[in-house]
Amino acid sequence: MKAAVVVARGKAPIYGDFADPGPAEGERLISVIAAALSPVTRSRAAGAHYSSSADFPFVAGVDGVGRLDDGRRVYFLMPRAPFGGIAEKTVAREAQRIEPPDELDDVAAAAIANPGMSSWVALKERAKLKRGETVLVNGATGAAGRLAVQIAKHLGADRVVATGRNLAALKAVRALGADATVHLVEDNESLEDAFRSQFAAGIDIVLDYLWGPSAERLLAGAAKAGRGPVRVRFVQIGSMSGANITLSSDVLRSSAIEILGSGFGSIPLNGFVRAIRELLWAAAPAGFKIETRSVPLSEVEQAWSRDAGPARTVFKIGE
């Protein structure tokens, strides 16, 4: 079969041949229709993600949409290595398959599942969002962050604050439901003051897609807002701005900030599957919006190096 094949650590996948998967006990063969190129897919392929495989070659892709041999359409998650989602065929167990609603087409389902799941899980499983709370999305201008703004509102947040570097992109996020924005300027003191002002007004949950310098300033601003023992749940999801931060012990001692992680390992697989099922069935009625860019599987090498901006690249493979 044709697939996006990762042949060595740090190498982008190539469009090539890979052995057809043979379903093990409890698995079903899936003919893939669409699979998205997500940050976690890139990171795993590069060997930089904590869940990366050390065995080569393998097929890139953590999820997708396809059909079983009986014709049923399914969304699948985490195929058994060395198989992946960006291929003509893959395998997955029943517990890792979901039947999406008919009103959500193949490209939309493949595009929305991974980035939408990140905030759905963080808000419901980790932060335990309560209706009427305020959520700050740090890094709201990418595909996952834009969905996070929409999902927070859908799940009951009364107010959503969005951050980002691009002012035009922040304006677009306001149109998706953000009530306020913070421009991530280079001036650390100004940025910390902006965060302090937002926390003084009341922030209950932070969804952090960036880490790095903006997370440092955000945590410092939260601690200096002077809200005392008011609980703030800081949920770390992604590290687009850096893998490490410098965190003063004063920040934790002088505030009620709780730092939580949300990702593979902090939540069991069935928690992700449950969240994605809820997300897919809510997507159309809620009107969640995500930009997509469809490309054929044969263009995987070009698409891998292309910056799609806020759009999610989706490989059209079958049908």
Residue finishing a domain among 261, 281, 303:
261
Rounded distance between C-alpha atoms, residue 313 and residue 147, angstroms = 15
Q: Do 119 and 251 fall into the same domain?
A: yes
Is there a contact between 269 and 241 (Cβ–Cβ < 8 Å)? no
H-only helix segments in 224-286: 249-253, 269-286
Q: What pTM did the predictor assign?
A: 0.93
Taking residue 43's Cβ as centre, other Cβ atoms within 10 Å add up to: 16
Q: Do 296 and 201 fall into the same domain?
A: no
Per-residue pLDDT of the chain (319 residues; tens, 9 = 90+): 999 999 998 888 999 999 999 999 999 999 999 999 998 898 888 776 666 666 889 999 999 999 999 999 999 999 999 999 999 999 999 999 999 999 999 999 999 999 999 999 999 999 999 999 999 999 999 999 999 999 999 999 999 999 999 999 999 999 999 999 999 998 999 999 999 999 999 999 999 999 999 999 999 999 999 777 889 999 999 998 999 999 999 999 989 999 999 988 899 989 999 999 999 999 999 999 999 999 999 999 999 988 778 899 999 998 7
Rounded distance between C-alpha atoms, residue 173 and residue 164, angstroms = 10
Burial class (CB in 10 A: 0-12, 13-18, 19+), 55: exposed
Q: Do 95 and 7 fall into the same domain?
A: yes
Q: Do 132 and 257 fall into the same domain?
A: yes
Rounded distance between C-alpha atoms, residue 311 and residue 295, angstroms = 12
The domain containing residue 185 runs over which residues?
A: 115-261
Using alpha carbons, select from 70, 65, 109, 83 the residue that is nearest to residue 22.
Answer: 83
The structural domain count of the chain equals 2
